[in-house]
Structure 1
Amino acid sequence: MIAEKTESQAGAVLPRSESRLKQKLKWFWADVKRSKVSLLFVAPFLLLFTLFIVVPIIISMSLSFTYYNILESPRFIGFSNYKLLFIEDDIFMQAVGITLKFAIITGPIGYIMAFLLAWLISQIPRKYRFFYTLCFYTPSIASGTAMSVVWLYLFAGDRKGLLNHWLIQLGIMDEPFLFLQDIRSIVPVIVIVSLWMSMGVGFLAFLAGLQNVPKDLYEAGDIDGIRNRWQRLWYITIPSVKPQLLFGAVMQVVASLQVFDISVQLVGLPSPLYAGHTILTHLFDYAFIRFEMGYASAIAVVLFLLMMGLNRLIFNLLGRD
């Protein structure tokens, strides 16, 4: 009797759940039909995003659990790559520390510099803004070769190096200092060059947002008692450009964690005692020099999760409104 009641109850629940599922599918397809024009416009982006972002991420996560050297078929090895990465690979842990140190220094400083420079440029007459914007934005799009020629000449470790020449002429130093070979100066040099090149897309987003703040808000602020530009900046400008602030923060975090070209061009691969070794440099080493794609995929997954975690933190701090 109990068994028959249980079966009847299960039979009653199952059709009800199926009906709910059919109802949800019906609502879904109704939404699709109602928004079909919008979906057609979004379709090319979704296709490219899926093909070049989502699919590679899934493949990378899958390969991170295998041994794969390109010549042989991938062989499943479980969590061995991650075990090797976090327990036995001391260079990777050193690269994580250098990358986080670099991100903690260059992230906030580059972010604040980009916003303040964009704000200062927005204060000057419109006809001069293009020139100053071009001057600050150009370093971020300079090629690695052009960048290395300038900075290698500046930090060269002999008397012909520009910085060594100035310091010796001023009597501050007696002998040239090896800026790009000494482990104490490698990270500071990379930080300086990165800050010089940090006025990128986030800087342009800040500038565009600042130029689109309604003038009526400033007039209302003057009536309400705002007395100087700093109060305007704090009470009107910053609240008005929060979307740009969020976008710039995300871009700055991504750029800080993807340091590669600057390190390789200035201090080589590998750098002296791995003093300039970052996560992306470690990834490049195993992927395109040693061709251990499974292990490189594990490094890529860790870097991806680190970026996702920091971006989620930024959204919680700046995206609450």
Structure 2
Amino acid sequence: MADMKQHKHSYVLMGPYFLLFFIFTVLPVVISVVISFTYFNMLEFPKWIGWQNYTRLLTNDDVFLIAVKNTFLFAAITGPLSYIACFFFAWLINELSPKVRAFMTLIFYAPSISGNVYFIWQMIFSGDRYGYANGLLIKIGVILEPILWLKTEAYILPIVMLVQLWLSLGTGFLTFIAGLQTVDRTLLEAGAVDGVKNRWQELWYIVLPSMRPQLMFGAVIQLTTSFAVADVAMNMAGFPSVNYAAETVVTHLIDFGTIRFEMGYASAIATLLFGAMVGTNLIVQKLLRKVGE
């Protein structure tokens, strides 16, 4: 209490943010968890049904199990790859002159804010001879007939992963650029005196420990994006995709929440996804704390 009185002005200044955070983040999460234990179709008052939604999800919903498999596979591949790619490109670009660095940052960040990004990839993987992928493969003699890339189950998920990786140089990338700019140059000079022999040792023992907050934030962003993938799958593979090849937990949630209006069931899906995200983020943050040790 004495500490709170001493810093009361700080708490007053943070008050509006905490109020908005509680109203628009904490409260909706709590309400969603409560609704997940009900049957709620948006027309009738929620009816308490206990664990039935979760039992149905885990034992009777085959599409949800496919979505879970796809989501974890997607997160396990695109999450680490996009995280490493974001940092690697940020590290390279940070070595350039300020003007060139600003230009290259724009080039790398542009895909994440482009409105025509899906149109470009749909042209590349078009199922006729005019698609760039088919045209190239036919020209060099790899295939004789065009492949229906986005209608063939074996190709759908890898293509969606590829597009997501291309889009991943967004907020995490900018975070790493900002973090690299804040590294104290005197630490690098001191490291050279103390026996740091090459750039890799400099990166591991000085640069990475100096930007742990940015590494944490980037990990949260990349993992959340990987687990919450939906737009890429829906735009590239359709909704639903062929044999649910690109079905994810979020697209399954959208199906029940915005099309079937089974809000209790959709809330159960959201609750399980939230738990998976929190658990994974805690594990990753624990691992990142060991960087530089």
> So what's the TM-score if we normalise by structure 2?
0.96
| Partner Cα separation in structure 1 for residue 206 and residue 5 of structure 2 | 42
Aligned-residue sequence identity (percent) comes to 49
Query: Which residue in 2 is equivalent to 1:210?
Result: 180
Q: Give 1:269's aligned amino acid.
A: F
> What does 1:72-87 align with in structure 2 at a 5 Å threshold?
72-87=44-59
Alpha-carbon displacement from aligned partner over 1:227-286 (angstroms, at most 9, x marks no partner):
432332223222222221111111111010010000000111100000000000000000
Does 1:255 pair with 2:225? yes
> What does 1:96-245 align with in structure 2 at a 5 Å threshold?
96-143=68-115, 146-245=116-215
For the structure 1 residues 319 and 233, does the alpha-carbon distance in structure 2 shift closer, same or farther, using more than 3 Å as the test? closer
Q: What SS does the corresponding residue of 2:247 show, helix, strand or coil?
A: coil
Q: What SS does the corresponding residue of 2:142 show, helix, strand or coil?
A: coil
> What does 1:84-95 align with in structure 2 at a 5 Å threshold?
84-95=56-67
Q: What SS does the corresponding residue of 1:180 show, helix, strand or coil?
A: helix
> What does 1:240-319 align with in structure 2 at a 5 Å threshold?
240-319=210-289
Query: Which residue in 2 is equivalent to 1:69?
Result: 41
Deviation at 1:152, TM superposition (A): 0.5
Deviation at 1:102, TM superposition (A): 0.3
After TM superposition, the structure 1 stretch with the greater mean CA deviation from structure 2, 32-41 or 53-62, is 32-41
Alpha-carbon displacement from aligned partner over 1:129-164 (angstroms, at most 9, x marks no partner):
100000111111223xx1221111010011111111
Q: Give 2:107's aligned amino acid.
A: C
Stretches of 4+ aligned residues off by more than 4 angstroms: none
After TM superposition, the structure 1 stretch with the greater mean CA deviation from structure 2, 297-306 or 235-244, is 235-244
Deviation at 1:224, TM superposition (A): 3.0
Q: What SS does the corresponding residue of 1:175 show, helix, strand or coil?
A: coil
Which of these two proteins has the greater Rg computed from alpha carbons? 1
| Partner Cα separation in structure 2 for residue 320 and residue 196 of structure 1 | 29
| Partner Cα separation in structure 2 for residue 235 and residue 31 of structure 1 | 35
Q: Give 1:284's aligned amino acid.
A: I
Alpha-carbon displacement from aligned partner over 1:102-129 (angstroms, at most 9, x marks no partner):
0000011101000000000011112211
For the structure 1 residues 276 and 169, does the alpha-carbon distance in structure 2 shift closer, same or farther, using more than 3 Å as the test? same
Q: Gaps spanning 5+ residues in structure 2: where?
A: none
Q: Give 1:215's aligned amino acid.
A: R
For the structure 1 residues 183 and 314, does the alpha-carbon distance in structure 2 shift closer, same or farther, using more than 3 Å as the test? same
> What does 1:1-16 align with in structure 2 at a 5 Å threshold?
none
Query: Which residue in 2 is equivalent to 1:17?
Result: none
For the structure 1 residues 219 and 34, does the alpha-carbon distance in structure 2 shift closer, same or farther, using more than 3 Å as the test? closer
For the structure 1 residues 294 and 167, does the alpha-carbon distance in structure 2 shift closer, same or farther, using more than 3 Å as the test? same
Q: Give 2:36's aligned amino acid.
A: S
Deviation at 1:96, TM superposition (A): 0.3
Alpha-carbon displacement from aligned partner over 1:155-192 (angstroms, at most 9, x marks no partner):
00111111111111111111111110111111100110
Query: Which residue in 2 is equivalent to 1:13?
Result: none
| Partner Cα separation in structure 2 for residue 142 and residue 156 of structure 1 | 20
Query: Which residue in 2 is equivalent to 1:9?
Result: none
Query: Which residue in 1 is equivalent to 2:30?
Result: 58
| Partner Cα separation in structure 2 for residue 219 and residue 56 of structure 1 | 49
Let me know the Cα RMSD of the aligned residues: 1.3
